[in-house]
Amino acid sequence: MSPELEKKLYDDFPALYSNHTLPMTETSMCYGFRCGDGWYDLINRLSFDIAKIIATDERLDPKLYTASCVKEKFGTLRFYMNQSTDEIRKEIEKATLESAKTCELCGGEGEMQTDGWMSTICGPCELERNTQREEERRRLARRDSGLMDVD
């Protein structure tokens, strides 16, 4: 995710993401949000719901209920907490299901693609990705045949 959007999430939910400044020996949050910008809204909403659950239940210590890892895996969102509740897990599950139909690149309606690796993207983004791959393939082919200088 772009640094600007990551910063927004850190600023908007300082307690939930308080771990992001810790070293990698203590948390995976130091790597930030390892997914595309298209899931920003989804993660923003999920963060809001989780923060609300923690804030309205005085039994939950905000220092313990923090995010430990947020990433994309096999085309869907993975969101891990250091400590969780059934209510929080339910919200995470909802967001995970939503991520399977949300383009990770633009946030539009997406579909799970399984060409080579699994990812959830929309038609136009897939077309663009394939075009870029094709251009890259041609560029490498041109370079290999000596028609283009290598810098």
Interface residues with Zn ion (CB under 5 A) are 103, 105-106, 108, 122, 125
For 64-107, list the strands marked E by DSSP: 67-73, 76-81
3-state SS assignment for residue 120: strand
Residues 79 and 40: their CA atoms lie apart, in Å, by 13
Least gap, CB of 116 to Zn ion (angstroms): 17
Q: Which is nearer to Zn ion, 42 or 50 (CB)?
A: 42
Least gap, CB of 130 to Zn ion (angstroms): 13
HEC letters along 9-73: HHHHCCCCCHHHHCCCCCCCHHHCEECCHHHHHHHHHHHHHHHHHHHHCCCCCCCCCCEEEEEEE
Residue 78, φ and ψ in degrees, nearest 5: -115, 125
Q: Which is nearer to Zn ion, 106 or 112 (CB)?
A: 106
Least gap, CB of 110 to Zn ion (angstroms): 6
Least gap, CB of 94 to Zn ion (angstroms): 21
Q: Which is nearer to Zn ion, 18 or 44 (CB)?
A: 44
Q: Which is nearer to Zn ion, 70 or 105 (CB)?
A: 105
